[in-house]
Amino acid sequence: MNSELMEILRRVDTPTVCNAIEVAQGKRGFDDFTRGTMLCSAPEGGAMVGYARTARIRAVTPPDEPADVIRARRMAYYRYMSEGSRPGVAVVQDMDVPHAIGAYWGEVNTNIHKAFGLSGALTDGVMRDLGDLPEGFPVVAGSIGPSHGFVHVLDFDQPVEIHGMTVAPGALVHADRHGAVVIPEDVVPALEEAIATLMRSETIVFDAVKGRQITFDEFEGVWAAFEAART
């Protein structure tokens, strides 16, 4: 992906990306996005975008493997997160959902992952330390909680599922306070123009209705122009 498209993706929100994918595909029905309400540590901070570095964790019960095995896996996980294509996004599934209690994403882990060059974290699990997370590393999570519980890494570099959205390692992910979306590889070459087309078409509506009062007859003409501009 070229740097210009990456910068555009950082500037737009996730709903815009979902709409632009449908413009690029020429149809409705795209559904590779999260379901339900997610929480964002920095709702006004803009979007995170990058290639997924995936892992799974658990925290409700202690691990049943030897401590040295758990530690070795954790360090192998950190090595994995430090590598790979950039920009990158840590995408971590909590296997305790819907009863997740272990806040893996707090002040320590966010600073570590930011230092690895990652752009943010996406999880269906728990985040904490909301006043102390580093600037420029948003976390989009399933819930907020105070404790890390018995959190430990189960595996990494495997497909994961976040709120109904499957994410393969290396998938291009876009996320913000609305949730997240996986951008299909075959759409990427057309995505910049699709976003531009979407913006132009929406401007037709906004120019006609924002701060104004119009009749239905006027609206019919505006809507016809809007639909024509999107196709």
What is the residue range of 40's domain? Answer: 31-183
Question: What single string gives the DSSP state of each residue in the chain?
Answer: --HHHHHHHHHS-HHHHHHHHHHHHTSS----B--S--EES-TTS--EEEEEEEEEEE-SS--SS-HHHHHHHHHHHHHHHHSSSSSEEEEEEETTTTS---EEESHHHHHHHHHTTEEEEEESSEE--TTTSPTT--EEESEE-S--TT-EEEEESS-EEETTEEE-TT-EEEEETTEEEEEPGGGHHHHHHHHHHHHHHHHHHHHHHTT----HHHHHHHHHHHHHHH-
Residues 75 and 151 in one domain: yes
> Where a domain ends, among 183, 198, 213?
183
Q: Would you state the pLDDT for residue 231? A: 66
Residue 12 in any domain: the answer is no
- Verify that 179 and 146 share a domain, yes or no: yes
Residue entry with tokens 């570095």: 53
Q: What was the pLDDT predicted at 134?
A: 97
Question: What pLDDT shows up at residue 2?
Answer: 83
**Residue 92 and residue 200 in one domain:** no
Q: Domain tally for the chain?
A: 2
CA angle centred on 157, ends 153 and 159, rounded to 5°: 100
Which parts of the chain have pLDDT scores under 50? none
What pLDDT, on a 0 to 100 scale, did the predictor assign at position 227? 87
- Same domain, residue pair 205 and 118: no
Q: Given this model, what pLDDT does residue 228 score?
A: 87
